[in-house]
Structure 1
Amino acid sequence: MPLFSLKKTLPLLLAFSLSHLAFAEPQHGLAMHGDLKYPTNFTHFDYTNPDAPKGGDVKRWSMGTFDSFNSFIIKGTPADGLGLIYDSLMEKALDEPFSQYGLLAANVDMPESRESITYYLRPEAKFSDNTPVRANDILFTYNTLIEKGSPFYKAYLGDIESIEALDELTVKFKFKTGENRELPLIIGEIPILPEHFWKERDFSATLQTPPIGSGPYTLDSFESGRSVTYKRNPDYWGRDLPVNKGRFNFDTLRYDYYRDTTVSLEAFKAGEYDFRQETSSKQWATSYTGPQFDSGELVKTEIPHHRPTGMQAFIFNTRRDIFNDPKVRQALGYAFDFEWTNKNLFYNAYARTHSFFSNSEMAATELPTAEELEILTPLKDQIPSEVFTTVYRAPTYDGSGNIRRELRDALRLLKSAGWELKNGKLIQKSSGQPLTFEILIAQKEMERIIAPMSKNLSRLGVEVSIRVVDVSQYINRLRAFDFDMVVGSFGQSSSPGNEQREFWGSYNADKPGSRNIIGIQSPAIDTLIELIIKAPNREQLVLRTRALDRVLQWNHYVIPHFHSRSDRIAYKNKFDFPKIRPDYDLGFDTWWVKESAH
């Protein structure tokens, strides 16, 4: 039976009309903590140009390939850009930590207890085939995502108790408790699906035909696995809403796929596409040169940002016996010499990452305060003792490449964990098995970062191999937890919440397709996650997130990498953009093509 149902009976409507009296006046937006920045009568976000001209064709690039237009399941490799075709109930403001304003929903009602929320749909909202967006589409979306979608949705939406359509334009969500303060805002972010399109299709299967949505673009054309093109819908129902004014200005947006990042860069310099965001410091320092840049045809720039940078790292699969012991994981971390790597490979472009919430106030960078200790002390017997006594720092070196002393420290840790060095190989005393593992990657460029670490590991008697696979195979192996170690990342927002369950929660450690790729199963971490989700205010959210950060750090689940506090972008000199940039995103959907370039 579906969790959610459509009820139109008179008793229900009467009950609703009475319960409605307990609500405040309908709101035009929601804020996670604090007040909304934009008033009821706002006309556009500050970081948009409401008079931006429409028009122009834009090309971007993507890595790998695609074989599906269903991005909501764990099967297949979905095409990039599919979010352009969907609207959600609310739209997030990119200059506030976590606030959102009405999109499909004109207004919302939510009591102070946060035990429920009611959305009032805009009667003019419609899908691209002119079918109206109605309450049954909202019900269908949540039923389907929880029952057939990626495990992520079941975790993300697990605290919904029920959803009822009170009439065609009114939908009420009830929650198991009012303590999951983020959940009302999460509901507002979910893409809404058209029931009439999906009801005759198998949602659990990959989709080969263009889907229908209510968003600003439609999927116009595609070449299987090679390119996909979206066309701005001239009849888009929501184009004049305050949350959309000045956005979605390109007539078409095409994604071309490349198998190799180096080839894709050369294609960019040859004028094959228009915009590129660079992640390789070497490429940024050495390859963005030439007559195209000298003449101004191509523009290269760095834009500082205020976003949390999360954690990019070498990630251990703790389901593997060799990585069960935190001492082993800690010891292997000594082999990554970031300072040498940064100087010799990255042109000193990066800062070392020490926190899972780097570049944010949630990062644990000092000893725990008295308030944090109140959170952590009840868990004392379940978490590493260093959480209380020492600020975590990933191994730090002088950049010379001489790390003999630290490798000796690593070897002592390995010996204390039951390993010994015999004939140049690290052997487990109990089983006689050598310590060998494979690092799985999809980007060949990562080999130059792994190679120095691999060399240091070999000095410890550890044998490491590198396996490069295509993007589709990489995704499938991650979904099946079929790896020893990968290079990956855990992105974070300025308002952590329910996604932490998916990253670290015990319940889905062995569920294929979950984001808990580490395989963490820790009651203490589960407790801290729930405390974050239930944080009553911003101050407690920060304190509880720092507490989680400390426990993750000292369990040595990853070997931290590095991060940049700016976006490195290059683009054809055909674009213009608003004078004000959003704090928490690049805001590419606020750019426009100069009329002279049409």
Structure 2
Amino acid sequence: MPQAICRPRIVNRTRHALLGSTLLFGAALWADQAVAQDEALIETHAYSYFGDVKYGPDMTHLDYVNPDAPKGGEMSQSVLGTFDSFNLFTRLGNAAALSTTPFEDIMIATADDPTTLYCYLCTTIEYPEDLSYVIINLREDVTFSDGSPMTAADMEFTYNLFMEQGLPEFLAVVNDQISDFEVLDTYRFKYTFTDQAPLRARVGLASIFSPFSKAEWEASDRRLDESWDTPPMGTGAYMLGSFDYGRDLTYVRNPNFWGADLPLNVGRNNFDSIRLEYFADGSAALEGFKAGIYRFRNEFSSLQWATAYDFPAVQDGAVIKTELPDGNLASAQSFIFNLRREKFQDPRVREALGLMFNFEWSNETLFYGLYDRVTGFWSNSELAATGTPSEGELALLQPLVDEGLFDASILTDEVVMPPVSTSNQLDRGNLRRASALLDEAGWIAGDDGMRRKEGEVLRVEFLESSPSWDRIINPYVQNLTRLGIDAVLDRVDPAQETERRRSGDWDMLTHSIQMGLEPGQVLYQWFGSETAEDSSRNLMYLKNEGIDRLIDAVVNATTTEEMTTATHALDRALRTIRFNVPQWFKAVHTVAYYDIYDHPAELPPYALGEIDFWWYDADRAAELGITAGGDTQ
């Protein structure tokens, strides 16, 4: 049942209160004195900038788990593509799926309270009212997978490692926000922040790094900015087991996992192993599912969902095909333009190309009506811009218009929405509008029907590795061809796609832009000018001072109202740039799985949780002749 609302308590941590620690901590006493002598600190097990938290310190388990879920069995799923590394903290190599599984965070959010951070590897945090620093009080029972204790020294090592070898896009955001990391004693450390660190982000910054073992790392020649043959030790419930590069890998339960009985873990981490099978494409993966090579499938193909699940195991009930609710913010999945390309720097060209993608025809003809259109970057939420700007938005946008950073039309026009097309593949009205835009931009159709500007043919290549996208992109290519554009689908192998995405060698590709319910500093990584040169998120190479200023307004918002208004303005402004052609989303999980798995009757709003809190039904597996390891008897 729901826990009582819990509020942090105020503690006075003075020199006298610390004297009992002298024999244990020695010099650490004086460091702590300097921080907090005669100063009132807020001490809490959980933190939410905007309001109350859901779970109190005496919780017994999360509301959405089954506390009596049995342990055992295997969860098996498919992955498309390949892998040759286990390091997600670098852009080198192709990292294996779930590569961060061995690692845990200092504080975590839950699937029913996504904007609160709860102490996980810590017991409490402490901070003054001005949030000029945050102290983390670690649990003393946390161990790495080899049984060695995790301490503040490991956190100091990890912090220094990320600040020296972290991704440039990450460092560009946080480098000037933390002024000092200080070990206060064996299980206590402190972050001090600069004035540049947004108040709302400071507790998150203090808990952002998952600890690595200093001893293990220093005994190896591993670097954070290089690919890894195997992952380093973590504190998590699972460790890497067997693997075959590019084919499969298995994570196995750590039998000595320190946190098995932690209230936040009750009813979670229920499988003995998690196995991932790699396939070259979606069709091969589906056949593997039918053959029982793996047992759980989250289906992302509307064609396969509508037509391919009529095989015997579905008909006799051995495989369950179902739709489960998905309350997550819709991903802004889109075709994006490479703004490095001169031809795409004219917004009229981008708008014209966007007009030629016919979502309505695609949804009816290709997707079986399963999808809704992505409209903006916070679709399906209260953070999405609507109508004309509110007074609060105008206050943010007017100065940017006055400086020439946005066109004045943003102050009066309705928010930009994707074009609506007819049920015919080629919407002739949109074709005429697109033709007029290209004419205005100087791309004129010649006698051969091809559009040229200064002798250059307007050519657009779509970079893609999956054959399942052919049926979606090819009609778009055909429409663009009717417009006089030399459009082609450039299908390559997954390794080539990865390399070309990273190097910027592409015109258009599909990108999934993931926003959150409490937008923060990650916005700089998605849309900020300072990260555009080397980013895994800002692939479109967006550099816009007006957008940067609006991101500042979102990040520095101190009330929910301010954050919502600033996000509305940002969403509105991003849509006017038209660097993307919005695709589609669905508000349900379309899943199929062998009837050997079970889940709580009511799922939380923000997670499907098949690996996190589902469990293995051994009795049902025996009835189906499936062993705990996934094989059929």
Q: TM-score, normalised by structure 1?
A: 0.95
The Cα offsets for residues 447-470 of structure 1, whole Å up to 9 and x where unpaired, read as 111111111111111011112223
- 1:585 paired with 2:607, answer yes
CA gap of 1:8–1:526, structure 2 versus 1, over 3 A, is farther
Structure 1 residue 156 displacement after superposition: 4.8
Q: Which residue of 1 aligns with 2:187?
A: 169
Residue 87 of structure 1 corresponds to 104
Counterpart for residue 265 of structure 2: 244
- Within 5 A, what are the aligned runs for 1:181-200? 181-199=200-218, 200=220
1:510–1:494: structure 2 CA closer, same or farther, 3 Å change rule?
same
Question: d(CA) in 2 for partners of 1:152 and 1:268?
Answer: 38
CA distance in 1, matches of 2:70, 2:28: 48
Shift in alpha-carbon separation, 1:247–1:107, aligned structure 2, 3 A: same
1:98 aligns with 2:115: yes
Whole-angstrom CA distance in 2 between matches of 1:532 and 1:585: 25
Q: Which residue of 2 aligns with 1:528?
A: 550
How far apart in 2 are the matches of 1:328 and 1:463?
Answer: 14
Residue of 215, 221, 234 corresponding to 1:201: 221
1:283 to 1:8, Cα distance in 2 relative to 1, 3 A: farther
The equivalent residue for 1:225 is 246
Cross-structure match for 1:3 = none
TM-fit CA distance, 1:399: 1.4
In the TM superposition, what whole-angstrom CA distance separates every residue of 1:370-391 from its partner, at most 9, and x where no partner exists? 1111111111121133422222
Partner of 2:587: 565
The offset of 1:570, in angstroms, is 0.8
Kindly indicate whether the alpha-carbon contact (under 8 Å) linking 2:384 and 2:571 is maintained by their aligned counterparts in 1: yes
How far does residue 151 in structure 1 lie from its aligned partner after superposition? Answer: 2.6
Q: CA deviation at 1:428?
A: 4.0
1:174–1:29 distance in 2 versus 1, CA, 3 Å: same
1:234 aligns with 2:255: yes
Distance (Å, rounded) in 1 between the aligned partners of 2:61 and 2:173: 30
1:287 to 296, 308, 326: 308
How far apart are 1:210 and its partner, in Å? Answer: 4.1
Match of 1:490 among 513, 533, 557: 513
Moved more, 149-158 or 452-461: 149-158
Give the whole-Å Cα distance in 1 for the aligned partners of 2:513 and 2:302: 20
Q: Output aligned runs, 1:17-56, within 5 Å.
A: 17-18=36-37, 21-24=39-42, 26-56=43-73
Q: 2 CA distance for matches of 1:153 and 1:300?
A: 40
1: CA distance, partners of 2:158 / 2:387? 43
What SS does structure 2 have at the residue aligned with 1:571?
A: strand
How far apart in 2 are the matches of 1:156 and 1:581?
Answer: 35
Q: Report how far residue 11 of structure 1 moved.
A: 4.1
Q: Distance in 1 between matches of 2:289 and 2:476?
A: 32
Counterpart of 1:399 in structure 2 is: 423
1:541-565 CA distances to partner (integer Å, 9 max, x unpaired)? 1111111111110111011111111
Instruction: Indicate which of 324, 328, 332 corresponds to 2:345.
Output: 324
- CA distance in 1 between counterparts of 2:596 and 2:615 reads 8
Superposed displacement of residue 150, structure 1:
2.2
Question: What code does the residue aligned with 2:455 have?
Answer: G
Q: 1:407 and 1:180 mapped to 2: Cα distance?
A: 48
Q: Which runs of 5+ in 1 are unaligned?
A: 1-6
Instruction: Select between 380-389 and 553-562 the one with higher mean Cα deviation.
Output: 380-389
Aligned equivalents of 2:409 and 2:589: distance in 1?
34
What is the DSSP-based 3-state SS (H/G/I as helix, E as strand, rest coil) of the residue aligned with 2:264?
coil
Higher relative contact order (CA 8 A, sep 6+): 1
Structure 1 536/426 Cα, relative in aligned 2: closer, same or farther at 3 Å? farther
Aligned counterparts, 1:479-518, within 5 A: 479-511=502-534, 513-518=535-540
Paired residues of 1:48 and 1:246 also in contact (CA < 8 A): yes
Q: Is 1:351 paired with 2:368?
A: no
Matching residue's letter, 1:358:
S
**How far is 1:579 from its partner?**
2.2
For the pair 1:13 / 2:13, whether they are aligned, the reply is no
Q: Is the 8 A contact 1:88 1:190 kept in 2?
A: yes
Question: Could you tell me how far apart the structure 1 residues matched to 2:35 and 2:436 are?
Answer: 66
Q: In the superposition, relative to structure 1, how do residues 579 and 186 fare at CA in structure 2: closer, same or farther (>3 Å)? A: farther
**CA positional deviation for 1:336:** 0.2
Counterpart of 1:138 in 2: which secondary structure? helix
Report how far residue 49 of structure 1 moved. 1.3
* Aligned-residue offset at 1:60: 1.1
SS where residue 412 of structure 1 aligns? helix
Q: Which amino acid aligns with 2:150?
A: V
Give 1:560's aligned amino acid.
P
Structure 1 CA distance for aligned equivalents of residues 592 and 27 of structure 2 = 54
State whether structure 2 residue 437 is matched by structure 1 residue 413: yes
Deviation string 1:421-442 (CA, Å, 9 cap, x unpaired) is 112344443x211100211012
Letter in 2 for 1:508: T
Q: Which runs of 5+ in 2 are unaligned?
A: 1-25, 622-627, 629-633
* Residue aligned with 2:284, SS: helix
Q: Is contact 2:172–2:530 with CA below 8 Å preserved after alignment?
A: no
Contact 2:92 2:226 in 1 (8 A): yes
Residue 241 of structure 1 aligns with an amino acid whose one-letter code is: L
Query: Is this contact kept in 2: 1:91–1:189, CA < 8 A?
Result: no
SS in 1 for 2:261: coil
- Match in the other structure for 2:8: none
- How many Å separate the matches in 1 of 2:91 and 2:439? 40
Out of 218, 236, 240, the position equivalent to 1:215 is 236
Partner of residue 408, structure 2: 385
Instruction: State the alpha-carbon separation in 2 of the partners of residues 472 and 110 from structure 1.
Output: 46
Aligned residues: 589
| In 2, Cα distance between equivalents of 1:151 and 1:254 | 32
